[in-house]
Amino acid sequence: MSDLSSLLRKVSEDHVSGSSEIYSALLNGLSDALAIKPSIKDWGEFCIGLEKVKRSMAPLQNVAGSLRVLLNARIPEDQFNGFVKGFLVDLASREKQAPSIIAEKFQKEQRPKRIVTLSYSSTVMAALTALPKDVEISVAESLPMGEGSVTYRLLTDKGYKACLIRDSMLYRAVANADLVLVGADGVCPEGLVNKVGTALLATLCKEHGKPLVVLCSTSKLIPVLEIDPMESFRTLEGLRYQEVVFEMTPLEMVHSIITEEEVLSGVEMQKRLLRDRSKMKDTECQQ
């Protein structure tokens, strides 16, 4: 159980990587863990732990849900790891191919010259770096975590015309942009779960008549998702700060969601996920 325990701890303590990167690391770690042939009991304990960490990240909760389905299927002990390996291989293959497919779909849908984005998303990065070098990209710093600086550095290292802006400058940035581009930690019928600031961007897009475009693999789609805002307080130089990392944005405020499978409006995606939810059993929902 040690490998699964250390993997769970690693995932729980990663506060820097994007959800796609954490998801890929999880899949790789689970594949490595198969070498020690975990027991069904080991997988059950890991599943319970995974359901409790990063509850706003749909890919992790989807993996926990898949494990829960296998555990409930009463598969014989000597066959269980084979079933786990099968679904891990399928998930890893789809996740590896998704960014380039999504980037291609994005280019067919949009021809922006000026883009606003925030935080860091490997899927968004793949789409941005597939665009011409003359595209102007404004990246919000994305406090409290400040992941926008990662996106900015990666873009400038590749020769793109990027600038890092304060979160308070988003009104002006969106007014001058062609579109706003964001990733997702999860998409459920209630809304888009992503870094704080996304709802503000959606509001600004509505006011300025600009499209809010979401890029994410189907691993981020989930019929039931419990948002954990990761709210905290800290004191710095005598000042007490309240901070939130995640928030939910209503899907009706989203112009389009581009996955490796299709391009849907926010409302169309909501209908799809509600259909999926209606087919679920209680045991398949987040615990």
Q: Is the pLDDT of residue 85 over 50?
A: yes
User: Which has more pLDDT, 232 or 253?
Assistant: 253
Q: What is the pLDDT of residue 15?
A: 79
Strand, helix or coil for residue 111: coil
Q: What is the pLDDT of residue 18?
A: 81
Q: Domains plus CATH for the chain?
A: 2-96 (1.20.120), 98-284 (3.40.50.10470)
* Contact indicator for 213, 115 with CB cutoff of 8 Å: no
Measured from the Cβ of residue 278, the count of other Cβ atoms closer than 10 Å reads 8
pLDDT in tens, 96-124: 999 999 999 999 999 999 999 999 999 99
Distance CA(149)–CA(271), nearest Å, equals 35
Q: How far is CA 266 from CA 212, 215, 219, in A?
A: 10, 12, 17
pLDDT in tens, 35-49: 999 999 999 999 999
Beta bridge partners of 257: 214, 264
Report residue 193 CA to chain centroid gap. Answer: 8
pLDDT in tens, 123-157: 999 999 999 999 999 999 999 999 999 999 999 99
Query: What's at 278, amino acid-wise?
Result: S
Q: What is the mean pLDDT of residues 251-278?
A: 97
Q: Is the pLDDT of residue 69 over 70?
A: yes
Q: Is the pLDDT of residue 2 over 90?
A: no
Q: What is the pLDDT of residue 285?
A: 53
Quickly state the pLDDT bin for 286 (edges 50, 70, 90).
Answer: low
Q: What is the pLDDT of residue 1?
A: 44
Quickly state the pLDDT bin for 280 (edges 50, 70, 90).
Answer: confident
Q: Is the pLDDT of residue 62 over 90?
A: yes
